[in-house]
Amino acid sequence: MEFLSLISPLFLSLVIGGTFVGIIFGAIPGMTATMAVAVCLPLTFTLGLENGLALLLGLYVGGIAGGLVPAILLGIPGTPSSITSTFDGYPMALQGDGEKALRIGICASFVGGIVSLMALFFAAPYLAEFAIEFSYVEKFLIILFALTVMAALSKDMLLGIFSGFLGIFISLIGVYDISDGGNGKLRLVPPGTEYWLDSGFSLLPVLIGLFGLAAILEQAELGVPKGQSREDVKIGKSSSFSLSIFKGQFVNLLRSSGIGTFVGILPGVGGSAASILAYSQAKTFSKKSANFGKGEPTGLMASEAGNNGLTGGALVPLLSLGIPGDSTTALLIGAFTLQGIQVGPLFISDNPQTWNAMIFAMLVANIAMFTMMYFAIRYFALVVTIPKHVLFPIILMMCVIGAYTINYGIMFDVWTLLIFGIFGWLAVKLGLEIAPFIIGFILGPSAEIYFVKSLESFGDLTIFFTKSWIAIILWLLIAGSLIASIYLARHEKKVSKTV
Amino acid sequence: MGNLTEVSIDFQSSHLVFPTVIGCILAGLTLAILVTRRRQIAGAGTYWRRTLGDMDKTRLFGALALTVLYFTLMVPVGNIWPNTGLGFLICSVPYVLATGLLFMHDRDMRQILVMLVIALAGPTFVWWLFTEIFFLTLP
């Protein structure tokens, strides 16, 4: 219980404040939890690790949950993970039950968040303990597995794999670091740019560019759609919500939360996959499957429990293996990097207080999310009317601060933000996938070390297949993930056709 | 078979091993994309014409131009008053105002005044927070 010494009024304020801001980001279409974390990263610079994480975890939980507001009231998912909440939430709103639908979603989100938090608390330490024994070979295969899973679950598998490897390639620009066992020589640096690219592109400006600037450029391209008017917000009559609506939904909630958590654990698989899978399972097992898509509360519960189940699950691979579970947790790596801490199998055993503080922050964030949204939902609903022409310039300015301050004031980092902002905007048009790209970019340098050191030590390529039984299992998982991805892609298509 | 899989890495050129492997994989994937997507690639002209036709060029390229100007001016302006972060503040106020006006749809006097207040208050608050409270370096 030593971690309780870290729980100060500031810590609690940051979690609650982060959750509040996260809900607002999630509730505004075009802004996401990932953007919220990217924009607020520089604030963690002076807060210290635990307080910084408290803020970011609050933003994460709030951002995912906030997405249900426009999904239900406007039929527009605030975040990609809320897509299936529109299927039944919006029809409920059209029938005058907007507030009731929101409260159902909020309760289901809370259940999903708590179930996934328990999974995180129990699973991550065991996985980390197991992973401590991994040699360079297994560590390399874990990264390969992560990349395969996420690339395979991309919209286009080939382009997804290409994006992942492109991310690795760009991460290798600069010096092969001596501190990592390299020879200190430059590679992939165009002549004349050695001064700026000596250490390659910094992670955080790249992330802020891809998730902050690129999203705003995308909105600018669409003409920065006007904010909704109050008349568009179909919150309906005062709530007729009662907890009795959850009677007989225990299995649905637990299954959907479990699916969300499991999908979260798979590296790089987004919340939309979690909610789609949870929704389709709920439809399959429901006696009222014919009502799905017409305002059936069971579908809304499944969707929200599923996407919030992702929050704890996505932290499992991050904190036990050092592999981010989704784009937002990839940004959390930035917070650890800022504080000079490396996440991986040793993180939990070396930093038990930080680990416990994170769990506590997640718990508080879920409770804060539930309390704020449940009791003030009519006010949060109005967030969707905030004009974007006011928000976007401020966000752009925050992006600049984030990029500039990360390395104590290097202007090249600000230009990096612009380069990757434009790249992120263009990449989507070219069919490239940002999530595999970013995971490749983050894990590329580690993959290089593990790959080269494995070959230096053993001098034979077969070592990647013969090193241990874990290596064989990892190869089976890689193959399995490809097969599963094909199945899921077909399943997803089927669901979207039937709804 | 053993000889085929054996690899010896020279430390002096070890920095090129992994980039070469990844480069070869990328080349192979590019080739696969070109072969399997040749029809879409051949028809890309129509796609880009439609995309360019649909986009709000004023807002998109206007935002990009303002951002490039903002980044370019920040350091020279900041160098006039070094270590104060005033380069950031002085450049951010017109940038927020200009971007806000660019993104705005109905530009009536009330909306413009609100934007002006935000453009003054937002950067000033952020500048104060980061330089006075967090002691962070700004241009």
pLDDT value, residue A178: 85
Highest mean pLDDT among A63-67, A466-470, B25-29: B25-29
Residues A378/A288/A277/A74 CA torsion (nearest 10 deg)? -30
Highest mean pLDDT among A2-6, A71-75, A187-191, B37-41: A187-191
Is the pLDDT score of A136 beyond 60? yes
pLDDT value, residue A153: 64
pLDDT value, residue A121: 92
- A414 neighbors A196 (Cβ within 8 angstroms): no
- Compute the average pLDDT of residues A39-58: 86
Q: State the nearest Cα–Cα gap between A392 and chain B, in angstroms.
A: 8
In 3D space, the residue among A62, A64, A85 whose CA is nearest the CA of residue A73 turns out to be: A85
Q: For residue A273, name the pLDDT band (cuts at 50, 70, 90).
A: confident
**Mutation site for A-interface testing, chosen from B60, B73, B133, B138 by largest number of A Cβ within 10 Å:** B60
Query: Distance between CA A208 and CA A42 in Å, rounded?
Result: 10
pLDDT value, residue A152: 66
ipTM of the complex as predicted: 0.93
What letter represents residue B72's amino acid? T
Is the pLDDT score of B13 beyond 80? yes
pLDDT value, residue B78: 92
**Interior CA angle at B8 toward B4 and B12, to 5°?**
145
pLDDT value, residue A239: 60
- Compute the average pLDDT of residues A314-341: 81
**Helix (H, G, I), strand (E, B), or coil: what is residue A342?**
coil
The DSSP code sequence of B22-40 is HHHHHHHHHHHHHHHTHHH
Is the pLDDT score of A233 beyond 80? no
B6: alpha, beta or left? (left if phi > 0; alpha if psi -120 to 50): beta
Q: For residue B65, name the pLDDT band (cuts at 50, 70, 90).
A: very high
pLDDT value, residue A499: 56
CB contact under 8 A, B26 and A169: yes
Is the pLDDT score of A155 beyond 80? no
Q: Which positions in chain B touch A389 (Cβ < 8 Å)?
A: 100-105, 115
Which long-range contacts (C-beta less than 8 Å, at least 24 apart) are formed by A137-140?
A137/A450, A137/A454, A137/A458, A137/A463, A137/A464, A137/A467, A137/A468, A137/A471, A138/A467, A138/A468, A138/A470, A138/A471, A138/A474, A139/A446, A139/A450, A140/A447, A140/A450, A140/A451, A140/A454, A140/A464
Residues forming a β-bridge with A186: A175
pLDDT value, residue A498: 63
- A30 neighbors A391 (Cβ within 8 angstroms): no
pLDDT value, residue A271: 65
How much of chain A, in percent, has pLDDT values that exceed 70?
Answer: 93
CB contact under 8 A, B138 and A401: yes
Query: Distance between CA B27 and CA A477 in Å, rounded?
Result: 26
CA dist A372 to A110, A315, A359, Å?
12, 24, 20
Question: A389 exposed, middle or buried (CB, 10 Å; 0-12, 13-18, 19+)?
Answer: buried
Nearest CA in chain A to B76: A411
Of A232-236, A282-286, B75-79, which gets the smallest average pLDDT?
Answer: A232-236
Query: Distance between CA A413 and CA A206 in Å, rounded?
Result: 8
- Compute the average pLDDT of residues A435-440: 85
Of A171-185, A264-278, B31-45, B84-98, which gets the smallest average pLDDT?
Answer: A264-278
Q: Which two tokens stand for residue A162?
A: 């290409």
CB contact under 8 A, B139 and A409: yes
Helix (H) or strand (E) holding A259: helix A250-265
- Compute the average pLDDT of residues A71-98: 83
Is the pLDDT score of A182 beyond 90? no
CB contact under 8 A, B67 and A418: yes
Residues forming a β-bridge with A174: A187
Q: Which of B17, B22, B118 sits opposite A390 (nearest CB)?
A: B118
Q: Of chain A residues 341-400, which have a CB less than 8 A from chain B?
A: 387-390, 392-394, 396-398, 400
The DSSP code sequence of A436-477 is HHHHHHHHHHHHHHHHHHHHHHH-BTTHHHHS-HHHHHHHHH
**In chain B, helix, strand, coil percent, each to 5?**
80, 0, 20
Q: Which two tokens stand for residue B13?
A: 């050129």
Q: Which of A159, A220, A415 sits opposite B59 (nearest CB)?
A: A220
Q: Of chain A residues 17-46, which have a CB less than 8 A from chain B?
A: 42-43, 45-46
In 3D space, the residue among A304, A287, A288 whose CA is nearest the CA of residue A296 turns out to be: A288
- Compute the average pLDDT of residues A300-309: 91
Q: Which of A158, A161, A217 sits opposite B36 (nearest CB)?
A: A158
Q: Which positions in chain A touch B2 (Cβ < 8 Å)?
A: 460
CB contact under 8 A, B138 and A217: no
Q: Which two tokens stand for residue A85?
A: 């909440």
Query: Count of residues for chain A?
Result: 499
Query: Distance between CA B119 and CA A299 in Å, rounded?
Result: 43
Query: Count of residues for chain B?
Result: 139
How confident is the prediction for chain A on average, in pLDDT?
85
**Interior CA angle at A33 toward A103 and A347, to 5°?**
110
A162 shares contact with chain B (CB less than 8 Å): yes
How much of chain A, in percent, has pLDDT values that exceed 90?
Answer: 24
Q: Which of B18, B32, B56 sits opposite A220 (nearest CB)?
A: B56
Q: For residue A12, name the pLDDT band (cuts at 50, 70, 90).
A: very high
**In chain A, helix, strand, coil percent, each to 5?**
75, 0, 25
* A350: phi then psi, degrees, rounded to nearest 5: -85, -25
